[in-house]
Chain A
């Protein structure tokens, strides 16, 4: 631990590669504690409502749940055999400091945010699917930032043991009365031989919230990942750039990102390193700006022959003020690989608008229908119930054309 702390201390002033710099001093460190919740019915109404807004329904078909209010884990339980859901502090105690996993993928000294998380008492979830275990219903987690101006720090570990299958939906959210705050989230995923993970993250922040997730994923032979990120409401600044390392033969990773920015600054993307033959990855981003600034980065690194990678970003700017900056990068480091990208930024097609208006829809209604359809990415590797839930989220939002 001391080595981790030492490296973290040295990195406390280190600015991140991307995203506006956040002054950590501005945010409160002390979080009010919350009581543990015994029964899901006891979850406070505002938490339940906020969770619903990010697709985390807690009433039915939950394979397990983790709920964190500010810095306190209030619910951590599994209802599926072979699936473990713990708060991270308990897991560290139970598993001898999680020596093979803790800070093994995300460098503790990556930047001041990882350093800040490392130097404070850990909160977050530990999700583990034992060898061959499968979730029938998704595990649901909600990270709730309910205290104004708090620096919420989270460190999560996900382990899918050999041949297991894990579906996780995580909602990160603030209630409507909290506009200001900081969310720092470190997540490390280990997807072992032949395991399948779908991880869906939905963000719904207040206007003045700053967000800096730091995620890394390690994949063994035959492992598959469907990683989905959805952010349809504004945050002040958000910067995330998860990195996946496909280290075993035939590993497959798929990143889907759906962004809608009314205002604020979203800087998102992913880096995938294809390190073994037969690996493949794709990254698909749909971005809509109605005034906000969106930067979408995507990087694929092919280190060996016989790998396939594809990047795709399509953006719509629906107002005069918006900006979408698409930055695709392909780094092929040998012969015999196949990597491609395509990107387009533009406006809604007049023909499509007219087509729907000829059926009696007003221009605003037609725009809404086209934007919702545009954001409805066909996500592979998700169970049907989760797919429906995602569709519901994009339908719920008030999406419309220029201001």
Chain B
């Protein structure tokens, strides 16, 4: 049985500099994984590489999605296969209304419905991300994913810059996207979530957490436990304590 996503010995460079240095990761259907790690450790690089952003060059290793090698597949093909990503700082697009982008994500989606779910209906006619605050960008990204309904949801800091009330809203959307309202055995969708402070973890259930340091995964375990260690000992301390080499 294949996992939904399997990453083997992944090495990735950006502009000639090696950023990921041998990542191994398996995500089964129905699982939510959290990624922790200091700035610059490669978390965003990992998500963008899975999404297929061209400037992230795979130097070694491979990525399997639903059992298929997607290492050199284009971004749009991966999206159509069921990979979705909420970017940390997406660009603004002139002249494209948010409601129209939602239709482009999925022609069958109801823009009004997904925007309402994110309490974001008043932004339907606004140009995508133009003049949006940090928190508004997150809600816009979530609305797009709700329309796209990917099988693998990747969220790059969905809680940064978001007030408490909206964190709850985003948490609800993540739970919906990863089918937390469905029996565990029936779930087919999975998630990877990057979070710095773990605020979002109060609202979503995460099955596993990984700590990344300098381009590798140094530790994997229970999300709560790992977060506690990071809070008390910092990333380095956490890595030394849990994973003595």
Contact = CB atoms under 8 A, between A and B. Distances in A.
Contacts of A358: 51-53, 75-76, 79, 84-85, 87
A357 B87 CA distance: 13
Contacts of B93: 352, 355-356, 369-370, 373
Interface in B31-79: 51-55, 74-76, 79
A375 interface: yes
A360 B96 contact: no
A354 interface: yes
Contacts of A360: 76, 79-80, 104-105, 148
A372 B148 contact: no
A391 to B, nearest CB: 10
A351 interface: yes
B53 A354 contact: yes
Given A352-B91, A356-B104, A359-B144, A373 B96 contact: yes
Interface in B72-106: 74-76, 79-80, 84-85, 87, 90-91, 93-96, 101, 104-105
Contact of B95 (A350, A356, A376): A376
Contacts of A351: 91
A321 interface: no
Nearest to B79: A360
Best-surrounded residue of B74, B76, B148 (most CB of chain A within 10 A): B76
Given A352-B93, A372-B95, A375-B95, A357 B74 contact: yes
B90 A355 contact: yes
Contacts of A376: 94-95
A213 B226 CA distance: 72
Nearest to B55: A350
B96 A369 contact: yes
A362 B53 CA distance: 13
Given A352-B91, A354-B54, A359 B79 contact: yes
User: By DSSP majority rule, is chain A's interface helix, strand, loop, or mixed?
Assistant: helix
Residue of A358, A362, A375, A376 with highest tally of chain B CB at under 10 A: A358
> Which interface class (under 10, 10 to 19, 20 to 34, 35 or more) fits B?
20 to 34
A6 to B, nearest CB: 50
A164 B54 CA distance: 56
A358 B76 CA distance: 6
Q: How many interface residues does chain A have, given as a range?
A: 20 to 34
A287 B79 CA distance: 31
Contacts of A354: 53-54, 75
A357 B79 contact: yes
A43 to B, nearest CB: 33
A29 interface: no
A359 B105 contact: yes
Interface in A116-150: none
A362 B104 CA distance: 11
Given A359-B79, A360-B79, A373 B90 contact: no
A345 to B, nearest CB: 15
A232 to B, nearest CB: 15
Nearest to A366: B76
Given A354-B75, A359-B104, 18 more contacts: A350-B55, A354-B53, A355-B90, A356-B101, A356-B104, A358-B53, A358-B79, A359-B105, A360-B76, A363-B74, A365-B104, A366-B76, A369-B104, A370-B93, A370-B94, A370-B96, A373-B93, A374-B95
30 contacts: A350-B54, A350-B55, A351-B91, A352-B93, A354-B75, A355-B87, A356-B93, A356-B101, A357-B76, A357-B79, A358-B53, A358-B75, A358-B76, A358-B79, A358-B84, A358-B87, A359-B101, A359-B105, A359-B148, A360-B105, A361-B76, A361-B104, A362-B76, A363-B76, A366-B76, A369-B96, A369-B104, A373-B94, A373-B127, A374-B94
Interface of B: 51-55, 74-76, 79-80, 84-85, 87, 90-91, 93-96, 101, 104-105, 127, 144, 148
Interface of A: 349-352, 354-363, 365-366, 369-370, 372-376
Instruction: List the 5 closest pairs (A to B, CB-CB), nearest first.
Output: A373-B95, A376-B95, A360-B79, A357-B75, A373-B96
